[in-house]
Every structure is written in structure tokens, then in C-alpha cells.
């Protein structure tokens, strides 16, 4: 019984060398990766006004994931050096990872969508938006969740992946539109003249960017002839303008004897014997 | 016939060494992993007021999964040492694991969503929320399920993955809104004056954060001119305020002879011979 | 031509050794796995009142799957010992397994959901629940299917994965709510007084946990002023209470000359010549 | 140039041995597998009253698939013995298999669902069920498709995977429910007394399991006070009972001078000058 | 520098042998596979009345796919013989194949569904069916598409995978159903007698399989008492029968002085001063 | 220190040989593949009237993809010859390829669907179709997109995968259908006679393929007895025919004193004291 | 103990050679790949009027991804040279890559759809389109997002993958359509003559491409005979034309004594005793 010392030494040397390479790679790659993650995160979030606290949370999360992945690779490689089968390790990690990945699919989707909403500045805090069935003022923009304050005071938390199409009502002048019905007996030209007079009074209102105009007969309804008035207003002033125009039109019609008709019906009366 | 004892010894030594490394790794990694799971679980749940019992259940579940995975890796590696094919083992485990993983996808999704709802404190026990078509007071927040008590007494169990967007009605002042119709014959200014007087009486009500205001003509309806009153109230006081305002407005209108009109219709009567 | 007996013997010995290890592993792992399955199944179902028959069915199913998987691994390994390619075996099993797995995804999903419904005791036999569009009394809870008896006598079988959110109406006091309209001419205070008197009579009713109260003017309708009465009742007594309250309120209103108005309309009559 | 006959012989012997093992395995496994398929199929379908023809069709299909899979494995293994690359064979089979598997996913899903519907006896031929938007009598239960005959004579073929929740109307007594409106001027107690008398006459009807009862004021409608009568009847007799009760109630009300009111409206008439 | 001719010769011989085996396998498997595809296709389509042209198209498609797959395997194996890496070949083919497979998933799904519709003879050319929101006469049944001719003349092409549940109206007798309202003042027994007389006249009509019967009071409507008449007719005769019955009933009612009432309303008239 | 020139030479020779084979294969396969793509594309599109420009675009796209795949395989194989690890190359390509493949899934689906729509000639340019919620004349058929011109002038671009069921209104005669209500007092036979006379006049109209017929009493409505007239017309003439028939019927009814009744109501008048 | 210098030298040489090849490949492939990306991007976007800034952003993103993939391959290959296990590296990268790929699936889908919308010029900036439930003027076309300005001033951001079918209203003449009801007592021919006269006056209006025409009796409504007028107008002029035609028709009817009727009803009056 003889030990082939030479071969063993050679093998031991090989193992040692490999271990050295692995440990060196770990020591080099670990801090570099951490720095890259931090820097990329900070530089890409600096422009998007994300609060410092949120960035730190995200950074911690990413660094944790990064550490676990690196340690897993490190352990597996050392196993590999001793020529142990690492198939089961990889397979187990893959199955567990995929299972979590499937479940967390929504999370990644949230972050990707959130990133682009921030990048393309689709919405900003304080704007009035409609999206995903919610309607209100944006209170906070996160990478994962957007908070919208409804006008009734409710605070809505919406995962970003549900923001499929965003209607931003705070980007430019808004339209004020009033539809008003007049009787079939009234003269259309007269009514339009009265309406235009009201409109002209409003056109000096600072809230109007483009003075309201009567644009014509919008429809011949079952009980009335509907006329439409349209104007462009300052942002968020459209409702106030519409309310004031409705009041002014009603009063002008009263003064000029133009009727806003109730629903009409023709009844053919047959008296039955009872 | 001669046994090459030397080679066999060498092989046996190699096998023994590998077995030692595997068993050592198992003995080291097993308790460390268990401790990491426990610590991460406790530290990450401490802040979120999750009941101790729930944490223990979750911990037991995770430790069980962890044990099964570890034992599977352990067995497979020992097979690998004896140079047996471990492909079938891994393949079977992978297929079974993926099958379960697909089915349990909803479960992981529940936990991930639940984790973020807790982390971002989107809802807390006792708050009034609307989500996933349910409406009521949150009774319990779990990692997998949220319990909401409807106002009619029903207790709703909702898996967290269905909470796609949460409307939290307990975060700030709420709006009290009353729409009231007046006759086309009534003077709008007079009616708005009466309404504002009612509003002023309410503005000293402690429940109102921002005293109710008449904001104008909301619409020209088919039978009435609709005026709108809006105020900001203490949270959860909005319904009481609205009920009191409706009563007060009705009584003030009665005193001032302002009519809340019934549906109106103009009938053109034609008497047929019968 | 010379047979290298020594090498052949060595190989034969290796093969024999490997076969022995495999057979031993099979003989050890098979009964242990079966016992683990049985024990886990029985211990985890003991608390959830699942019928013995159902547990046996499930056990048999799981043991069958377990046997097939084990036999497949066993055969593949023996092939591996003879250095035959086992790739095709594994690939075929994987493809077939995945195909079945995809199709049976719903089944696993059913069982996982059912397990948590049982574990979290979301519903129990005899409770009145609304879920997945079905409404009725729970007749049986299974791991795969839940049976709900509708009030019209229909028995509904619902796979558990469709139970996305469960409304349990048997967990606490229920609300009795009666909305009642009074005429715009009636005095609101008077009507509320009459209503409160009726409510006070009911508050001594044992079915009421929290005596009914008049809470105010719920809405100003097109034909009536709507008052709301709310009370908390014993579970499942809410409908009886509401029916009795409706009758009592109607009779009290009759006695006090308060009118429950029919739909109202104002008709402006114009006689056309015919 | 010298042929190393010895080595070639050894290799040839090895190849021959492997071929022998493979062929032997094929000859052993093929008939065993076929028998297992047949036996499992017959034993598991014997209890579920599936027609013999259908079982034979299914058996033929399964044996065909089994044969193709086995032959594929057999060919691949022989390739493997000659040390030819079998990767492309496996990869091609995998891709083709997965492509078919994806497309046939619905098929597997049908069979799995159908199997459980049969196993749990959720429906049987001749029962009246509502499922997947179809309503009628079950004509045939298959592993893949269920046939339901609508009451208008239509025969509906529904793949089993669409049976998401089955309402079986043939499992127990059914409810007969009649809602009947009385005038606001009528005395509720008197009307309930008349109704109860009608109910008492029906309680001796054999079709009623639990004699009909007046349960009270179901709602205060816009034109009438709605009273509700409920009874439990033999299965499938509920419609006949309801029709007879409606007729009897109408006639009893006629005899007792209780009015079933038409829609009511109060019209405030204003005569306009024309 | 010396060439080891012996080893090279041996290697060349091995390569030559492998090439021979591969080419032989290709020459044997290619025609066999083509014959199997042709025979399976022809035998399985012979019974389902699929037009010869369609079968030829399908055969050509399948043979093309078969050729490409075989050539790919052939090329890859020859690469393998020269010990070239075939990983990239397989990986590329796999990714491309899966990408196409995903996109063509609907196609496979169409064919599988179509195959079973044909096999189970769920519909045949000329039958009247409702499926996938389309309603009409089947004009052509394909493996991929079904053509349905609507009654308004439109020809609808529907991919088979959208046929989720087929309502076949051409399998058996159909129901003719007429609901008819009578006045609350009319005697129900008298009206039912008149109706039954009309029904008796129809019962000798050849189109009726099961003579129409009056089955009773279907509902107590807001303006009329609704009676229902039901009969079983020859297939596709149900509409004609219903039209004739409606005419006969109307005329019988006229003769017997039974009124089919218009919508009824009670108006409480209050004259306002104007 | 001695260089084993012989072995190195042998290795170098092996590498050279492999490189030669690879380059040769690339040079042979590249032009053949390009020719196959071109020929298949041209032959399969020649019959479907696809514009030459579109085919060229598609060809360029396919040849680009083909080139990139081939170059990738070529590079990887050369790496393989130098015994470098090609795993990372393949894995990276696979992940990137799958990611793109998932995203482009819709694109492949469009092309497959478009191919079959063209192959089965389901629609052609100039036909009037309804599909995917759009309704109009087909302007262009593409492999990826179909353009439909609505009757209001809008041009709709629809990706082919959304064409789930196509209603083609340009394949055969169309139905003209007119429903006409007569008074309950009118004689049905008389009205049907008048209608049939009108129909007979139209039956000589060239637009009618199958002269219009009165088919009977379609329903007993709340205010009128509805009669139905049906005819078969030339394609796209159905609307004109219906318009002309409506006019003719109205005028014939006027001449014959048959009334088309207005909505009817019976009012029971009760005068309240006011 | 003796070092086999020769072998070590050989191995070191081999490693050095491989490292050289890898580094050379990296240095060659890196700049080539970057150039290809830039060139492809610029050439394929030049024709589509995409703003320079957007192209640069996209280029930077692609180059970043390209760098990370290349560096990963580079590192892994160097590990491979030292014969370290690279399995774990690849597996980790694959799992992480797939997880991100799944989440970013929507992003790729956006870009692919956007690319084809640009390539097929389905919409252009300034056009009026309806798509994905949004309606307005296109403000900006991006590879990922399309911006549409609603007529009320709202700016809508829509990810391109939601543009499933685009209705472009700016591609050709538009239809102006006016439906007008006349009394059942009026003569249809006379009314059509008056209408046609109005139409003839409009046919000289420049906005009309194809002068408006009366096309006949569109329907026999419950209260009126509906006539339809259709014309083809310049793009975006359809609403103005319709408004002007409505006004002109109303005035022409007034001049010719043709009535646009109110809703009609026949009331059968029965006076009840009260």
C-alpha cells in the first residue's frame, strides 16, 4: 500500500489554486457589484424626485438579493471544486427561484411600469388624473404604487401595473361645454344670438383662454332643440366656468322670454265607459 | 485474479472524504439556514403588528419547506458521490416542484401583495376601505388574506392578490356633498342665498373642517335647476353631515317658499272620438 | 483473443455494488415516504373535520403518484448503472408530466385554496355565505369542491379555485335597514318622532342586539323624502326584523296620518285642437 | 496497420449486451404498461357508468400515445448505444411535444374536470342543472363533453372545462315562492289572514313537503305593499305549485275584495293656456 | 514527426460507421414516417366526411413539417459525428421553435377542438346552431374553421377554438311557447278554457308532436294575468307554430270577449291652480 | 523542457479540420437557406394577391433574422472548436431570445391568423364585413393588419389576431325584414292581405331574389299586433329594399285605413281633493 | 516530490492561449456590436420621424444591456478557462433574467406594437383617432407610449400594447348623417321633397364632397316616421355640416308646415269613483 504523494500534492495544489481564484473573485466582485447597484440607483433616481427614504429601502432590498445570489454562487462553486455534484443545488435553486419569480411577476411589472411613468413624466404630484377607474389628485408617485386622492377625500393606492393608460387633466387648457335645450317653437337664430351675447360677456373673463362660442344645433331632441356652447378655460377652471355660464344663460333666457322646455308628450285621449 | 488494493483504497478514501464534506456542509448549513429564516421573519414582521401566532405558523411552514429541500439535496449528493445517475431524481423533483409551483402561484402572489400592503401601510385594522368590490371596516390583515367587515355585518375574506387598488376612506377629511333641485321658476340668486345661510349655520359645527359652501348651478335638469353644496368634514362624519344638511335645507326652503319640484311634463292633449 | 477477466470482474463488482445501493435505497425510502405521506395527511387533516373517507381517497391518490414516481426513478437509475442513455426516458417523462401538469393546474389550485379555506376556517358547514356568484348555506367543505345549498333548494358544486373572496354572513350581528319615504308636505320632525316610537317598541325585542334607531334624511328623492332606520339583530334574524318593522311602520304612519307617497308628477296640460 | 481485434471484440460485446438489455426491457415493459393502462382505465371507469364504447375509444387513444412514446425511447436508446448524439432527437421531440401539449391543454383540462365531476357525482343523467350559462336536463356525461338538453329542445354540447361551478336543481326539495302586492289602503293583517287560508288549503297538497306560509311584508313598493308566501315542494314541482298558488290567491283576493293594484301615480295638473 | 496511422484509421472507420448508421436510419425512417402520417390522416378523416382537398392540404403541411424536422436532426447528427458542438444548433432551433409554437398555439387549439367536434358529431352541415355568439345554419365544418350562415344572409367564419359550448337546435322536437296576458277583471278559468279549445284544434296539426297545453298562471304582472301555453313541435317548425297560435288565440279571445289589456296605470289627479 | 510536437500537430490538424468543416457548412447552408426562404415566401404568397412591396419587406425581415441566427451558430461553433465554454453564449442568447419571443408573441399570432384568413379566403378587398367590433368595407388585407373602412369614413387598422370570428356580409343574398305593428282592433287577416299585396308588387323588383312574403304574427306587443315581412335581396340591396318597403307599406295602410298605433295606456283616473 | 514542469507548462500555455482568444474576441466583438446597434437603430428610425432625443435614449439603453450581457459572457468564459464550474453562474443569470423578462414582457410588447404602428403609418401626429377607449388628436407617437389629446383638453398616455385596433378618422372624406322624424299624418313624399331641396342647397357647399341625399324611410318609429339624409364631407367638417343641416331642415320644415312630432301616446281614460 503506497500513497502516490506526488499526485495528491498536485491535486491539492489544484484545489487550493481554484479556491484562491474563487475567493479572490468573490472579494473583488462583491464590493464592485454593490457600488454599481448603489450608483445606478442613485443616478437614475436623482432626476425623478423620488424621496431619499424610498431609494434607501429599494437599495437595501436590491443589495440583499444581490448578496444571496452571490453567496449561493460562491457555495456552489466551492462544492464544484471538490468535484461534488452541484446539479441538485442548481435545480433546487432554479425551481424555488422560478416559483417565487412567477408569484412576484406582478411586483416586477409594477416597478417597470412605474419607472417609465416617472421617466416619461406622465404624471406628477398634484396633477388631476383619471386612471384605472380612479379619479383625483396624485398625492405620491412610487416605483410600485401610485396614490391618488379622490375629490371625496378617499386615498386610493394603485399598483402601477394597473395604470393601463393615464388621462392627465392638468396638461393644458380645458374645455367648458354647455348644452342647452330650447323649445321647438322658439326661433333658433334668436336663441343663438342671445347665447352669443352671454358668451361675449364671458370672453373677457380671465379664466377663459378662448372665449366661449355658440357652435350650432347639436341635436333635434325628442322635446327640445339642443344648442351647444364651447370655450377653452384655464386648467381646473372648467367646472366653475360651466356653472357660471349655466346660471348666466338661464337668466338671459328668462329676460328674453326663451323657454327651456320640460319633457313633452302628445296624448290622444279616449274616454272609456266605466 | 488480483485486487488492485491501492486504487480501491484511493477511491474509498475519495468517497469517504466527499461524504465527510457533504455531511459537514449539511450540519453547518442546516442550523444557519434555520436561524436566518427565523430572524428575517421576526425582524421583518415585528414592525407590522402581525400576531405572534401567525408568525409561528409561517415560520413552521418555511422551516418545513427548507428541511425538505435540504434533505433532497443531501440525498442527491450522496447518490452523486457513488457515481449513480442523479438526473432522474432532479428531473422528477423539478417536474413535481413546477407542477405544485404553478398551482400555488396564487399563494405566492397573495403573500407578496400582502407583504407590500403591510409594508406601505396601505390599510390598517379599523379603517374603512373599498377594494375588490368589497366595502367595509378592516378587521384583520394577514399575509395571505384580508378580512373586511361590511356595514351589514357580513365578514368578507379576500385573498390579497385580488386587492388590485385599495380605496382607503380613513385618511383625511371627507367631502359632504348635497345636490338640491329648485324650480325653473324660482330665482337662482335667492335660492343660493337661502342655501348659503343654511351653510353658514353649519360652518360652526365641529364636524365640519371646511364650512359648506354653495358652489353654483351644477346642471340644468329636465325638471329642475340643480344647485350643489360642498363641505369638508371630519372623517366618517360625512354621512351624518349630509343627512343633517338635507333636513335643514328642506326646512329652510319650506320657510322661504322655495319649491323642490317633482318631475315635470308638458302634455299636449288631443281628444279622440270614442 | 484474451478476456481481461480482472477488468470485467472489477466492472461487474462495481455494477453489483451500485445495484445493491439502489435497491437498498429503494427499500429504505419507499416505506419511509409512504409513512410520511400518511402521517402528514392525517395530522394536517385531523383538525379540519374532513371526513375519514375523503382523507383515505386523497391518501390513496398521493401514494399512487408517489409509487409511480419512485418506480420511474428506480428503473431509470438501473438503466444508468448499465451506462445506457437515460436522457430519452427523462425527457419523455418530463414532457408528459408537464403536459398533465398544465392540464391539472386547476386541480392543484383547487386543493391549495381549499386547504387555506379550511385552515383559516373562513367558512364552516351550516354557515350562510356568498361567494363566486352563489349564495346559500354551506353543505360540505372539500379540498377540491365546496357545496352550497341555495335558498331555492339548488345544490351548487363550486371548485375551490373560483372562491375568490368569500362573504360570510354568519359571523356576528347583522344589520336590519328600512328606508321609508314620506311626502314632501309632511313635517320631517313629526315623522321621525313617529318612527322613533316604533323603533323604541322594537328595542325590547330579543332579536335586536342594538335597538333600531332613526338616523335621518337619507335622500331627497324625486317623489318623497327618504328616512332611514337601522338596527343590529341576532344573526339570520335580520330579514324577519325588517319585515316586522315595515309592517309596524306602515301601521304607525296610518295611525298618525303620515303618507307614504306614490310617484309624483307635475303635468302642464295644453289642449290641442283636434 | 493492425487491427486491435481484442478491443473491437470487447466493444462489440458491450454493444451487443446493451442492445440485449434494451430489447429485453422493451419486451418486458411494453405489455406490462399496456396491461396497467387497460386495468386502471377499466377499474376507474367501472363505477362511473361510462359506456363501454367510450372506454374503448379512450383506451385506444392512450395505448397509441403509449406506443409512440415507447418506440421513441427505444429508437433513441439504440442510437445512444452506437454513441450517436441523441440531443437533437430529444430536443426535437421536446419542442414538438410541448407545442402539441400547449394546444391540447384544454383537452387535458376537460378530462381532469370531467373525471372529478363523475367521481364526485356532481351531476347525473336526467338531472336538471344550470352551468356555464346553460340550463336544462343532462343527457350525457362524457370525460370531455357534457350534453345538456334545454327546455326549448336545444341540445347543448359543453366542454367540461367550462363547467365552473354547477347548480344542480335535482338534489332535494325546492322552494315555491309567490310575491303578491296589495294596495296601500288595504289592511295588511286582513290580507295576510286571507293568504294564510289559501296556504292552509295547499298544505294538504302532496306536492308540498313543507306547507306554504305567509312570512310577512317583503317590501313597501312604489305602488303596493308586497307580501311573500314561501313553501317547500317536491323536486321539479315548484313551478306547478307556484302557478296553482297564484291562481288560488288571485281568486281568494277577488272573493275577499282585496285589490292587486296597478302602478300608481299622483299627477299634479296645471292647465296651460293654449 | 510521425503520424499514428493506426489510430487515425480507427477513428476514420468509426466516423464512417456512424455516418453509415445515420444515413441508413434516415433512409429507413423517412419513408416510414411519411407513410404513417398519410395513413393515420386518411384513416382518421375517412369517417368524418372531410373533403379530399382539405385532407391533401393538411397532409402536405404535415409532411413539410416532418421533412424539416428530420433534415434538422440529420444535419445535427452528422455534426455530432465530427465531434462539433451541436449545442448552439439545438438551442437556436429550440428558441425559434418555441417562439413559433407560442404564436401558433391558437392554431393547434383550433385543430384539436375541431377534431373532437367532428369525432363527437356535435354539429353537421345544415344544422341550426348557436355558438360563440353566432346563430345560423352550419355551411362547412373544417378542422380549423367552422362556417355558419346567419339568417340575414351573413356568412360567419369562426376559428374552432372559440366554439366554447355549442347549442344545436336540430336535435329533436322543439318547444313552441306563447305567453298571453288577460285582464285582471277576466275570469281565469274561462280564459283558460278558451285557450285550451284553441290548443285542442292545434293538437291535430301534424307539425305538433305533443299537442299544446295551457299550463296555468305564469305570473301576476303589473297590468295583466299572464297565461302560458306550451307544445312540442317538429324541428324548425316552432316559429311557424307560435305565429299561428298567436293569431288563433287573438281571434278566439276576440270572439269570446276576453281582453288582452294595454299597460294600466292609476292616476291620482290633483288640480293645481295655475 | 520538451514540446510534444507530434501531439500538438495532431491537435492543430483536428482543429483545422473542424474549422474547415464548419466554414464549408456555413458556405453551403447560408445560400441554400436564403433561397428556400425566398422561394417558399414567393410561392406561398403568389396566390394570395399580396402586394410585391409587402412580400419584399417580409423577405428582408426573415433574411435578417436568418442571418443573425446563422452567424450566432457560426461564432459559437468556432468557440467550441477551441474548447472554450459556450454555455454562457447559449444561455445568454436563449434568455434574450425568449424575452423577445414572449413580447413578440402577438406578432407571430398576427401572421399565423393572417395567413389562414388569406388561405381560406375568408375576406377579400371590397367586401362588407363585421369583425372585432368593427364594421365596414375591407380596404386592405395584410399578413399582420387588416384595414376596414367604416361607413362613416373612418379607417380602422386591426391586428389580425383580434379577428376572432369574421362575419362576411358579401357572400350571397341578404334578407330584407320589416316588422310592422297594427292595432288590436284591426282585423289581422285584412292587414295581412294588404301587406301581401304590397309584397307582390315588390316581387317583380329585380333587387329581390326571393319575393317578400308576409309570414305571420311575430308577437302580441303591449300596444300592437306585430306582423313580419321577409324577402331575399341582391347583396348590399337589403337596406334600400327595406326603406322602399317601409314607405310602400305605410302608404298602403293609409289607403286601406289600417292604423299603425302609438303606444297605448289605460289610465284609471281618481280625482283627489286639492 | 517532483514537479512535472513540462505538463504544467503545457497547461499554462493552453490557458494563456484560451485567454488570448477570449480577450481578442471581446475586443473585436464589442465595438462591432455597438456599431451594429447604433446603425440599425438610426437607419430604422430615420424614416419614422422619431425625435433625435428619443433615439439617443433608446440607444443608450440598448448599449447598456449589450455591455452587461457581454461582460457576463466574458467573466463566465474566463471562469471556464480555469475549469471552474460555471453552471451556478449561468443558472443564476438565467433565473434572474427570466424573472425580469416576465415582468418586462409588457415593455417588449409595447415596443414591438409601436414599431409596427410607425412602420405601417397607422397614425400620425395631428390625426383624429379612436383607440383603446380614448378619442382625440394624436400629440406624440413613441415606441412605448402614444399621447392622445382628448377634445376636453385631457392628455392621455397609452402604452402601445393597449392599441388593439386603431380607428383613424383622418383618412378620407367623412359621412354627415341626419335622421329626422316626421308625423305619421304627414305625406312622406312631400317631406322627402322638402328635405331634398334643403340638400340641394348644401350640395354647392364646398365642405361637401358628395352632396347630401335623402335616402328614404329609415324606420317606422313609435311616434314618428324617420327619414335619413346622408352626405360626404371634407375631413373633420362632418360635425359642422350636420349642425348646419339640422338648423336648415328645421327651418324648412317650419316654412312648409311639416311637424317634427313629440313622443305620442294614446290614453284610454277610465274615471274611477273616489
The string of pLDDT tens digits covering residues G201-221 is 998 899 999 989 999 999 999
pLDDT number for residue B111:
83
* A265 contacts G264? CB cut-off 8 A: yes
Which chains have 3+ CB pairs within 8 A of C?
A: B, D
Residues of chain F whose pLDDT is less than 50?
1-2
What per-residue confidence (pLDDT) applies to G134? 95
| E217 interfacial to chain D (CB closer than 8 Å) | yes
Are chains A and G in contact at 3+ CB pairs closer than 8 Å? yes
CA of B249 vs chain A CAs: smallest distance (Å): 20
Q: For residue B43, how many C-alpha atoms fall within 13 Å in the half-sphere facing its CB?
A: 6
Q: What is the mean pLDDT of residues E157-169?
A: 94
Is D147 a member of any domain?
Answer: no
Give the pLDDT mean for G255-265: 94
pLDDT tens for each residue of D226-255: 999 999 999 999 999 999 999 999 999 999
Q: Note the pLDDT tens digit of each residue in G236-246.
A: 999 999 999 99
**Do residue B167 and residue A134 have CB atoms under 8 angstroms apart?**
yes
Measured in angstroms, the CA of G267 and the nearest CA of chain F are apart by 5
H-type alpha helices, C48-104:
52-81, 87-103
Indicate whether E197 pLDDT > 80. Answer: yes
> How far B78 CA lies from chain A's nearest CA (Å)?
9
Specify which of A41-55, D58-72, G180-194 reaches the highest per-range mean pLDDT: G180-194
Residue A260 within any structural domain of the chain: no
Percent of chain G scoring above 90 in pLDDT? 50
**How far is C191 from C141, CA to CA, in rounded Å?**
48
Q: Say which range, A213-217, B96-100, D35-39, has the weakest mean pLDDT.
A: B96-100
> Pairing mode, if any, of strands A155-159 and B166-168?
antiparallel
What average pLDDT does this structure show over C51-74?
77
**A111 contact G CB<8A:** yes
pLDDT band at A99 (very low <50, low <70, confident <90, very high): low
Count chain A–chain B contacts defined by CB atoms under 8 A: 187
Share of chain E above pLDDT 70, in %: 89
Mean pLDDT of E26-31: 87
The answer to whether the beta carbons of residues E89 and F73 sit under 8 Å apart is yes
Q: Tell which of D9, D146, D266 to mutate to test the C interface (max C CBs under 10 Å).
A: D266
**CATH code of the domain in which F200 resides:** 3.30.70.100
pLDDT reported for residue B43: 74
Tens-digit pLDDT profile for residues B72-81:
888 877 777 7
The residue to which cell 297590468 is assigned: E223
- What is the average per-residue pLDDT within B134-147? 91
Position with higher pLDDT, G25 vs E134 = E134
Residue range of the domain that includes G39? 2-84
| Closest of C242, C247, E222, E217 to residue D192, by C-alpha | C247
Q: Is residue E213 predicted with pLDDT exceeding 60? A: yes
Q: What is the distance in angstroms between the Cα of A229 and the nearest Cα belonging to chain B? A: 14
DSSP E237-257: -HHHHHHHHHHHHHHHHHHHT
| A255-264, B57-66, D4-13, range with greatest mean pLDDT | A255-264
Q: Is residue G101 part of a domain?
A: no
Q: Chain-wide mean pLDDT for chain A? A: 86
- For the segment C140-194, what is each residue's pLDDT rounded down to a tens digit? 988 889 999 999 999 999 999 999 899 999 999 999 999 999 999 999 999 999 9
Q: From A222, A184, F224, A269, select the one nearest G224 (Cα to Cα).
A: A222
What pLDDT score was predicted for residue B187?
94
Chain F with chain G: Cβ pairs closer than 8 A:
188
What is the predicted pLDDT for the residue at A209? 93
Q: Touching check for E270 and chain D: CB below 8 Å?
A: yes
CB within 8 Å: F217 and E247:
yes
Give G158→chain A minimum CA distance, Å: 4
- Closest Cα to residue E159, out of E141, E146, E175, E177? E146
**pLDDT for position G223:** 93
**Any domain includes E138:** no
More reliable by pLDDT, E53 or D108 = D108
Q: Cα dist. C51→C142, D171, E35 in Å?
A: 9, 21, 55
In a domain, D95, yes or no: no
Percent of chain A with pLDDT over 90: 50
Which residues in C lie closer than 8 A to residue B78 (C-beta atoms)? none
Angle subtended at Cα B104 by Cα B101 and Cα B108, rounded to the nearest 5 degrees? 100
pLDDT class of B50 with cuts at 50, 70, 90: low
Decide if B4 touches A, using CB distance below 8 A: no
pLDDT attached to residue D5: 66
* Residue G204 backbone phi and psi in degrees, to 5: -95, -5
Q: Is A183 on the interface with G (CB under 8 A)?
A: no
**Structural domain tally of chain B?**
2
* CA-based nearest distance A152→chain B, Å: 5
Which of B84, B109, B136 finishes a domain?
Answer: B84
* pLDDT tens digits along D131-186: 999 999 999 988 889 999 999 999 999 999 999 899 999 999 999 999 999 999 99
> CA geometry: angle at E20 spanning E19 and E22, to 5°?
65
Please check whether residue A164 touches B, CB under 8 A. Answer: no
Kindly indicate the confidence band of residue B4, based on its pLDDT and cuts at 50, 70 and 90: low
**D47, D68, D84: which is the final residue of a domain?**
D84
Contact map slice: E 13-32 vs F, CB within 8 A: none
Mean pLDDT over the full length of chain E: 86
Q: What pLDDT does residue D49 have?
A: 60
For Cα atoms B215, B218, B219, give the angle at the middle one, nearest 5 degrees: 160
What grid cell was written down for B73? 439535496
pLDDT at position D1 over 60: no
C-alpha cell at G268: 284610454
What pLDDT shows up at residue E119?
78
Whether C1 has a pLDDT exceeding 50, the answer reads no
pLDDT greater at residue E38 or residue A51: E38
Contact flag for F and B (3+ C-beta pairs < 8 Å) = no
Helical residues (DSSP H) of chain G, grouped into ranges? 5-46, 52-81, 87-103, 105-119, 188-202, 238-256
Domain annotation covers residue B115: no
CB contact under 8 A, A77 and G96: no
The dihedral formed by the CA atoms of F36, F39, F42 and F46, expressed in degrees to the nearest 10: -130
DSSP G204: T
Q: Which of residues 36-75 of E touch D (CB under 8 A)?
A: 69, 72-73
CB B95 within 8 A of CB C98: yes
| ipTM exceeding the 0.85 mark | no
pLDDT at F40: 77
**Closest CA in chain C for residue D218:** C243
Mean pLDDT of D25-42: 84
Q: Is residue A215 part of a domain?
A: yes
Whose CA is closest to C221, among B266, B180, B257, E272?
Answer: B180
Instruction: Tell me the mean pLDDT in the region C42-65.
Output: 71
**What's residue B1's pLDDT?**
40
* Domain-located, residue D129: no
**Domain end point (choices A38, A66, A84):** A84
Amino acid at each position: 500500500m503506497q500513497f502516490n504523494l506526488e499526485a495528491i500534492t498536485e491535486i491539492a495544489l489544484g484545489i487550493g489554486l481554484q479556491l484562491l481564484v474563487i475567493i479572490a473573485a468573490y472579494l473583488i466582485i462583491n464590493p464592485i457589484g454593490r457600488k454599481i447597484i448603489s450608483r445606478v440607483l442613485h443616478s437614475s433616481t436623482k432626476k425623478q424626485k423620488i424621496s431619499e427614504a424610498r431609494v434607501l429601502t429599494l437599495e437595501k432590498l436590491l443589495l440583499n438579493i444581490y448578496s444571496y445570489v452571490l453567496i449561493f454562487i460562491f457555495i456552489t462553486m466551492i462544492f464544484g471544486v471538490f468535484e461534488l455534484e452541484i446539479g441538485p443545488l442548481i435545480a433546487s435553486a432554479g425551481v424555488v427561484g422560478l416559483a417565487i419569480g412567477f408569484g412576484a411577476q406582478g411586483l416586477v411589472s409594477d416597478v417597470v411600469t412605474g419607472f417609465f411613468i416617472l421617466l416619461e413624466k406622465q404624471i406628477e404630484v398634484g396633477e388631476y388624473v383619471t386612471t384605472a377607474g380612479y379619479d383625483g389628485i396624485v398625492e405620491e408617485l412610487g416605483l410600485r404604487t401610485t396614490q391618488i386622492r379622490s375629490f371625496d377625500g378617499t386615498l386610493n393606492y394603485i399598483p402601477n401595473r394597473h395604470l393601463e393608460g393615464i388621462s392627465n387633466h392638468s396638461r393644458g387648457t380645458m374645455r367648458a361645454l354647455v348644452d342647452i335645450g330650447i323649445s321647438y317653437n322658439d326661433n333658433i337664430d334668436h336663441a343663438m344670438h342671445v347665447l352669443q351675447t352671454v358668451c361675449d360677456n364671458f370672453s373677457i373673463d380671465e379664466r377663459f383662454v378662448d372665449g366661449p362660442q355658440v357652435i350650432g344645433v347639436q341635436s333635434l331632441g325628442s322635446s327640445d332643440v339642443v344648442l351647444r356652447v364651447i370655450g377653452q378655460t384655464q386648467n381646473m377652471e372648467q367646472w366653475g366656468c360651466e356653472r357660471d355660464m349655466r346660471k348666466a344663460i338661464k337668466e338671459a333666457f328668462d329676460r328674453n322670454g326663451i323657454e327651456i322646455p320640460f319633457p313633452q308628450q302628445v296624448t290622444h285621449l279616449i274616454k272609456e265607459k266605466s
